[in-house]
Chain A
Amino acid sequence: MLEQVLITIATAATPLLIAAVGELVVERSGVLNLGVEGMMIMGAVTGFGVALATGSPWLGVLAAIIVGTLFSLLFGFLTLTLVTNQVATGLALTLLGLGLSGMLGEGFVGLPGVKMTYLNIPYLTDLPFIGKLFFGQDPLFYVSIVLTAGVAWFLFRTRAGLTLRSVGDNHASAHALGINVIGIRYLAVMFGGACAGLAGAYLSLVYTPQWIENMTAGRGWIALALVVFASWRPWRVLAGAYLFGAVSIGQLHAQALGIGVPSQLLSSLPYIATIVVLVLISRNRRLTMINTPASLGRPFVPDR
């Protein structure tokens, strides 16, 4: 049973992790994209539709990534090229995504979807207790872990990562050094869009393989919050996502056991616990200051 519970937790945490890691890269480059929810839901509807039409969940995932990227390009064009307000544009992107996905998905309502097959490695998956947990989950679970490790390595161990962070910390200096600020921000925004699209596909192809309007149900916003409370550190985002998942599932189990704590309190626990823990681990103010992208949300117009 414990193994099943852990797998359930991983399923709950994975979409948050994927979306949050993408947004982390965006914010590290100094752009605040509040459109995560909108890009996610677009990914969810495209992923579902393409998988249904072709019968291949992988093509669905691919399409979701492409649509997420295209959607983020819209955001990039507006905020980076036309220098619109990032907060307002991000919110508009969310609203557009929620509305547009509902319209596109109208024909998908009530259709059972295509579910991604779980990993099955002979012998390894059959190992007692750890087999299914480590070798028998959905493929995107492994993608999310690799993605986190990759982003952590990229940001802090490569020159390109350093450049991206410098753009997020002080775009004027970066520009003076000859770095293409806008170009790098475009790439970061597109990466964030691709991740959000993938996270959306996870919802409609793995988590609950069906299309329901508004099925992201605020997960994009939770991912955004995770990035901030994890003080823009990839592994902390992972810790936060899993903590959130664990407490969400744990409170459901506590209820089913009938422990007699008000369910309203239990339902709010994931939010409270995640915030408290992430604030505690990032209570070193100096370190937090260093990690916060100093140019976050500030528009950049190169002087000519």
Chain B
Amino acid sequence: MRKTILSLAAAAAVLSFGTMAAEAKVKGCWVYVGPIGDFGYSFQHHQGLLQAKEKFGDELETAYLESVPEGADAERAIERFARSGCNIIFTTSFGFMDATNKVAGRFPDVKFEHATGYKREHPNVSTYNSRFYEGRYVQGVIAAKMSKAGTAGYIASFPIPEVVMGINAFMLGAQSVNPDFKVKVVWANTWFDAGKEADAAKALIDQGVDIITQHTDSTAPMQVATERGIKAFGQASDMIKFGPQTQLTSIVDDWGPYYIRRIQAVIDGTWKQEDVWGGMKEGHVVMAPYTNMPDDVKKLAEETEAKIKSGEFHPFTGPVSKQDGTEWLKAGEVADDATLLGMNFYIKGIDDKLPQ
């Protein structure tokens, strides 16, 4: 039965290919993990596609597949794209990592760009990511300033380094204001399930948190926070419409500039393997306007953002201890990227037990 469902789903997915003008110089293809209508993570990637389309016009032919499950289906979807004449394929979720590398081995002439991963097993695979933790640090600072309970709720998706890094950065930001700040973490074990995310938010609020932040993709937690009259941070896009009195700020992913640069490289024939990890400085990570907070908090947030942007300050700067109390970073020491990208431990002060 399950097999039937999957193959039917795959067939339907294939039917939903969108193809454009025939005279294009280059064909760019995107694989999304969620629907482009999630108004969050996949929505922002799609905004990047639209930016590229606007920039290149008829020179660029685009196609995309949405709601592709992480797993065997992903490989099939990517391979189909590779066969259909795509010159460059952007696979936009961590879980597409192995599938992307496998297909890349079979199609050496197609360029593959995998978001948020770390495996580049073939010369035609690049990885790109954004330093979202920079934004999460700023959010932590704001949360600790704004919370009366001294506790924030964190709705997390899956225990992968990207998410763990975000929780740690948030906590470090909060601790810089209030060393005793607490964060309650709930793992939804999904990237996108509005109902479940809403339930998680309700559970956290019932347990006394008065700030919600999320690393899942729907706008539901923002709505619950609004209903219950507490503050929250948006995720991936500016969600102010869902909480005009609720949203403090949001980390906005801006993939457009990167997509344009990489597609240009394919057109020029200068594309080569890269591992790009851009942050606020490169314009990958943009903070939505600071709203619903007193001026002094806003000022502190802006100062923190400016310091990170200029490179003067790195959120992961020692002294930092791990959860079990052992030293991780000495005073003044800055974490290296490799450790961050493979982060599988909590820093001191987080009560949750990290699922392994």
Known: A102-B37, A112-B241. A209 touches B223 (CB 8 A): yes
The CA-CA distance from A227 to B241 in the complex, in Å, is 39
Within 8 Å of chain A (Cβ to Cβ): is B16?
yes
Within 8 Å of chain B (Cβ to Cβ): is A214?
yes
The CA-CA distance from A264 to B188 in the complex, in Å, is 9
How many residues from A make CB contacts under 8 Å with B?
46
Is the pair A208, B16 in contact by a Cβ cutoff of 8 Å?
no
The CA-CA distance from A281 to B66 in the complex, in Å, is 41
- Among A65-73, A124-132, A174-182, A245-253, the one that faces the other chain is A245-253
- Among A1-9, A183-191, A291-299, the one that faces the other chain is A1-9
The CA-CA distance from A203 to B218 in the complex, in Å, is 14
> Which of A11, A95, A257, A266 is in CB contact (< 8 Å) with B207?
A257
Is the pair B242, A210 in contact by a Cβ cutoff of 8 Å?
yes
**In the assembled complex, which residues on chain B have CB atoms less than 8 Å from the CB atom of A248?**
196, 199
Least distance between B354 CB and chain A CB atoms (Å): 9
Least distance between B1 CB and chain A CB atoms (Å): 8
Within 8 Å of chain A (Cβ to Cβ): is B351?
yes
**In the assembled complex, which residues on chain B have CB atoms less than 8 Å from the CB atom of A266?**
187
**In the assembled complex, which residues on chain A have CB atoms less than 8 Å from the CB atom of B218?**
208, 212
Within 8 Å of chain A (Cβ to Cβ): is B14?
no
Within 8 Å of chain B (Cβ to Cβ): is A258?
yes
Within 8 Å of chain B (Cβ to Cβ): is A165?
no
Least distance between A266 CB and chain B CB atoms (Å): 8
Considering the complex, give the chain B residue whose CB is closest to the CB of A105: B37
Known: A212-B218, A212-B219, A256-B207. A263 touches B196 (CB 8 A): no
Least distance between A89 CB and chain B CB atoms (Å): 12
The CA-CA distance from A215 to B196 in the complex, in Å, is 10
Is the pair B203, A252 in contact by a Cβ cutoff of 8 Å?
yes
Is the pair A214, B67 in contact by a Cβ cutoff of 8 Å?
yes
Least distance between A3 CB and chain B CB atoms (Å): 10
Within 8 Å of chain A (Cβ to Cβ): is B5?
yes
The CA-CA distance from A255 to B187 in the complex, in Å, is 7
Within 8 Å of chain B (Cβ to Cβ): is A207?
yes
**In the assembled complex, which residues on chain B have CB atoms less than 8 Å from the CB atom of A95?**
8-9, 12
The CA-CA distance from A248 to B9 in the complex, in Å, is 27
The CA-CA distance from A252 to B212 in the complex, in Å, is 14
**In the assembled complex, which residues on chain A have CB atoms less than 8 Å from the CB atom of B194?**
203, 207-208, 210, 212, 215, 217
Within 8 Å of chain A (Cβ to Cβ): is B153?
yes
Within 8 Å of chain A (Cβ to Cβ): is B70?
no
* Residue in B190, B203, B218 whose Cβ sees the most chain A Cβ within 10 Å: B203
The CA-CA distance from A102 to B36 in the complex, in Å, is 10
Residues 97-124 of B at the A interface (beta carbon under 8 Å): none
Least distance between B183 CB and chain A CB atoms (Å): 10
Least distance between B161 CB and chain A CB atoms (Å): 16
The CA-CA distance from A212 to B67 in the complex, in Å, is 12
The CA-CA distance from A272 to B206 in the complex, in Å, is 25
Within 8 Å of chain A (Cβ to Cβ): is B19?
no
Known: A217-B194, A217-B195, A258-B353. A267 touches B220 (CB 8 A): no
Within 8 Å of chain B (Cβ to Cβ): is A122?
no
The CA-CA distance from A217 to B218 in the complex, in Å, is 12
Is the pair B8, A91 in contact by a Cβ cutoff of 8 Å?
yes
> Which of B16, B37, B186, B202 is in CB contact (< 8 Å) with A255?
B186
Is the pair A8, B202 in contact by a Cβ cutoff of 8 Å?
yes
> Which of A87, A109, A219, A256 is in CB contact (< 8 Å) with B204?
A256
**In the assembled complex, which residues on chain B have CB atoms less than 8 Å from the CB atom of A213?**
35-38, 66-67
Residues 203-234 of A at the B interface (beta carbon under 8 Å): 203, 207-215, 217, 219
**In the assembled complex, which residues on chain B have CB atoms less than 8 Å from the CB atom of A88?**
4
**In the assembled complex, which residues on chain B have CB atoms less than 8 Å from the CB atom of A111?**
241
**In the assembled complex, which residues on chain A have CB atoms less than 8 Å from the CB atom of B67?**
213-214
Residues 215-253 of B at the A interface (beta carbon under 8 Å): 218-220, 223, 241-242
Known: A4-B206, A212-B218, A263-B159. A252 touches B186 (CB 8 A): yes
1/0 per residue B10-26: CB within 8 Å of A? 00100010000000000
Is the pair A207, B203 in contact by a Cβ cutoff of 8 Å?
no
Is the pair A267, B203 in contact by a Cβ cutoff of 8 Å?
no
**In the assembled complex, which residues on chain B have CB atoms less than 8 Å from the CB atom of A260?**
353
**In the assembled complex, which residues on chain A have CB atoms less than 8 Å from the CB atom of B353?**
258, 260
With A5-B203, A210-B219, A212-B218 given, name 7 new contacts (CB 8 A): A203-B194, A208-B194, A210-B223, A214-B192, A248-B199, A263-B159, A264-B189
Identify 18 residue pairs between A and B in the complex whose beta-carbon atoms are under 8 Å apart, listed by A's number.
Answer: A1-B207, A8-B202, A8-B206, A87-B1, A99-B12, A105-B37, A203-B195, A208-B220, A212-B218, A212-B220, A213-B66, A215-B194, A217-B195, A252-B199, A257-B184, A262-B355, A263-B189, A267-B187
- B interface list, Cβ under 8 A from A: 1, 4-5, 8-9, 12, 16, 34-39, 43, 66-67, 153, 159, 184-190, 192-196, 198-200, 202-204, 206-207, 218-220, 223, 241-242, 351-353, 355-356
